Amino acid sequence: METYDALLASITPDSGETRTILDPATGTVVGQAPVHSIEDLEKAVAAAQAAQPAWAGLGHDARSAALLKAADAVERSAEELARLLSREQGKPLNGPNARFEVGACAAWLRAAATLPLEPETVVDDGETYAELHYRPIGVVGAIGPWNWPMMITIWQIAPALRMGNAVVVKPSEYTPLSVLALVHVLNQEVPEGLLTVVSGGPEVGARLAEHPAIGKIMFTGSTATGQAIIRSSADTVKRLTLELGGNDAGIVLPDADPAAIAEGLFWGSFINTGQTCAALKRLYVHDDIYDAVCDELTKVAAAMPMGVGLEESNVLGPLQNRQQFEVVARLVEAARGSGARVLLGGNPDADQAGFFYPATLVADINNNNPLVTEEQFGPALPIIRYSTVDEAVEMANGLDAGLGASVWSADVTEARKVAARLDAGTVWINKHGAVDPRVPFGGAKQSGYGLEFGVEGLKALGVPQVING
């Protein structure tokens, strides 16, 4: 186990161009990140190509054993990784934040290592015998976001390595240190050259997406960037898994208990200070309990401490960057200007250091308001009234996004009936955004395509091959 200072030193370049990374909570320097070039990317791809055949040849059992050791390595350095993540991304150590994220990295590594994937007999009728196998793709490109930089990188890396692939990782320019440190820890347990981080700008990501030696791209991020990846990957017919923007709806049915669901609603929306693709971003509440839900949710939100992530008492942190802060501020002010009622928040402290935007609840807002129709990706939740379930379903399905959704009710059977009518890749009942490494996860409509997690996620990192005869 390395100390925090040793871990940071291990990823600090001795030479070459660097970029200064600042803490979004305090503005202080976290560290120096390398600025890798196209030439660095080419070297990483060549090393991955060289390392991949031997790794694939080890077979599932040996690869799984290495991933389990990698999970142990993550746990040995868990506190150091969490501190770095908190300083770079801004999320607090406690709550469903930095320590939670590092713990999830170990959990997903173990799940990818231990999920069974046996050849499937598809026909055996005495005349025809056919088996379905999954072979490695080769080299996988993993392009990750800044909101959950470690965890989402593991979502990409773990199944790719389990299936016998090498991986070249391109982290967000906002949070490269977290990913560099995580991969440094993982590389203690996997062969040299198999797993590399290329910390460059947009041109590096574009080259990765079009590179002829990359067999698949896994990407989590905006729909616009996903569309660009689709276009740039077309000439080489790459396989793609795209987890794109979400604007998840939650529907509270009239039989729900406002006090009982308030905390679940809060964390479904405000986890990671709202900076989560599958967070609850627009809440539809029946007229009969609308005021009660607003009151109970306000009580919960008002009690949640926000501040610098390294302070143990905090559970909400800053927005990660100024651009996102300005998006949230613009949308809330537009809602206020339209006549919507701000129940809580909405007035950031101009004298406070860092990109802190207070937890904000906006009631009596029109469904066509930009705070509802645009993904805010921050701590501001619009709460929309509805009179009939048909009206709520129509509004929930009215946008191009379809990553997740949720239904809240005392009657689970009725909630499931409503869930079946929603256009989303995952619909949760009486919770929102809870992911599980055993359960497939992916988007509908313009929220992307392809599945992650579970056996289906493993299969997505392989090339299906039928052996017939």
Residues recognised as catalytic: 243, 277
State the helix-helix crossing angle for 202-210 and 38-57, rounded to 10 degrees: 40
Q: Is residue 75 within 8 Å of 67, Cβ to Cβ?
A: no
Angle CA 290–264–287, to nearest 5: 10
Q: Is residue 82 within 8 Å of 95, Cβ to Cβ?
A: no
**CA 158, CA 372: separation in Å to the nearest integer?**
35
The candidate with the shortest Cα–Cα distance to 136, out of 207, 44, 42, 59, is 59
Residues 6+ apart with CB under 8 A from 323: none
Going from the C-alpha of 236 to that of each of 52, 135, 346, 368, 405, the distances in angstroms are 20, 19, 47, 40, 34
The candidate with the shortest Cα–Cα distance to 113, out of 440, 450, 438, is 438
The candidate with the shortest Cα–Cα distance to 254, out of 418, 105, 116, is 418
Expressed in angstroms, the distance from the first to the final Cα of the chain is 51
Helices (H), 173-308: 176-186, 202-210, 223-233, 258-270, 290-302
Specify the DSSP element, H or E, that contains 109.
Answer: helix 98-114
Q: Is 430 exposed, middle or buried (0-12, 13-18, 19+ CB in 10 A)?
A: middle
Describe the chain by its helix, strand, coil percentages, rounded to 5. 40, 20, 35
Q: Which two tokens stand for residue 220?
A: 């989590």
CA 159 from centroid of its chain's CA atoms: 15
Q: How many C-beta neighbours within 10 Å does residue 115 have?
A: 17
Specify the DSSP element, H or E, that contains 118.
Answer: none
HSE, CB side, 13 Å, CA atoms: give it for residue 365. Answer: 31
Q: Is residue 177 within 8 Å of 320, Cβ to Cβ?
A: no
